[in-house]
Amino acid sequence: MGEPQLTPAHLQHSEEKIRTPFQEGLHAFMKNKIAVAGTVIVLFFVAVAIFSPLIAPYTINDQDLGRRLLPPSADHFFGTDDFGRDIFSRVVHGAKISLFVGFFAVLGSMVIGSLLGIIAGYYGRWADTIISRLFDIMLAFPSILLAIAIISILGPSLQNALIAIAIINIPNFGRLIRAKVLSVKQEDYIMAAKSVGMKDSRILLRHVLPNSFSPIIVQASLAVATAIIEAAALGFLGLGAQAPSPEWGKMLSDSKAYLIQAPWTMIFPGLAIMLTVLGFNLMGDGLRDALDPKSKQ
């Protein structure tokens, strides 16, 4: 009898079988055109933030009262504001501020929330009770009201807005990682690690945390979009970035009096917020579909 022939279908099946989990997730993500489009939007704004000094034709505080509230033109792509400042330059520099707040607020809430969630989920008992009740209390308040309360104590500034946004997002990460840890710690390999005397710290770092990381990545990508909106809302209320900062929410607040007379002063910062948030949401949805095993069934 001759050897079985390998058809292209068999070869393709073999290649799929030897893919690593990372390659499998990346493949699923790249097949999602909407998620790729969201990633392109995010990368575009990241590039704008990094190269803002090279892209912006004017400095953010160049004032020319003789050219105030000019409509979009070849000299001023997005027009000028009530101080004659170039809106395009301010929107470009505002990308750096909004992404900075979004990334670092989420980083802080992710680290603290994950730490508390791991402690609550792994050790349980009184630690779980205290931490879970703390999360419940924080989630009982609307997030923006809790942020306003925190800033009223710390004082209005961009840095304090970042701190407030990080604090109000801690429960989201904490509850997520707690639920994942409760599931992971029942696995056989965790029981085996405990039976051979492995320390809890090593079990958490080598086994529990790596196997709980996928939902954190998805939540982080979606939380950046929420953080950008919250930073813009606080800036609009005068509790976040202060004048003359080109933060997008602050730009909307400064321009609301000119909505009828010069609508472009609000349109372009608003579009920047909308597109950035849309990009992160689309990318986050794609990551969730790619990393969630249930979505592949």
Q: How far apart are CA 257 and CA 248, in angstroms?
A: 16
The pLDDT assigned to 85 comes to 93
In a domain, 106, yes or no: yes
Domain hosting residue 77, numbered range: 25-296
11 within some domain: no
pLDDT in tens, 78-129: 999 989 999 999 999 999 999 999 999 999 999 999 899 988 988 878 888 9
In a domain, 38, yes or no: yes
Q: Is residue 3 part of a domain?
A: no
Least confident of 118-132, 169-183, 281-295: 281-295
7 part of a folded domain: no
- Dihedral, CA of residue 146, residue 90, residue 223 and residue 39, to nearest 10: 170
SS3 (DSSP) at 80: strand
Of 34, 44, 109, the residue nearest 283 (C-alpha): 34
Is 4 inside a domain boundary? Answer: no
Q: What is the pLDDT of residue 137?
A: 93
Predicted TM-score of the model (pTM)? 0.84
Residue 98 lies in a domain: yes
Question: Count of domains in the chain?
Answer: 1
H helix runs in 155-263, sequence order: 158-168, 170-184, 188-195, 200-203, 213-236, 248-255
Residue 98, both tokens: 């909004």
Looking at residue 97, which CATH number applies to its domain? Answer: 1.10.3720.10
pLDDT of residue 297: 47
Q: How far is CA 89 from CA 50, 58, 195, 275, in A?
A: 13, 6, 61, 17
The packing angle between helices 87-123 and 213-236, to 10°, is 140
Asked whether residue 20 is domain-assigned, the answer is: no
Please tell me what DSSP assigns to residue 259.
T
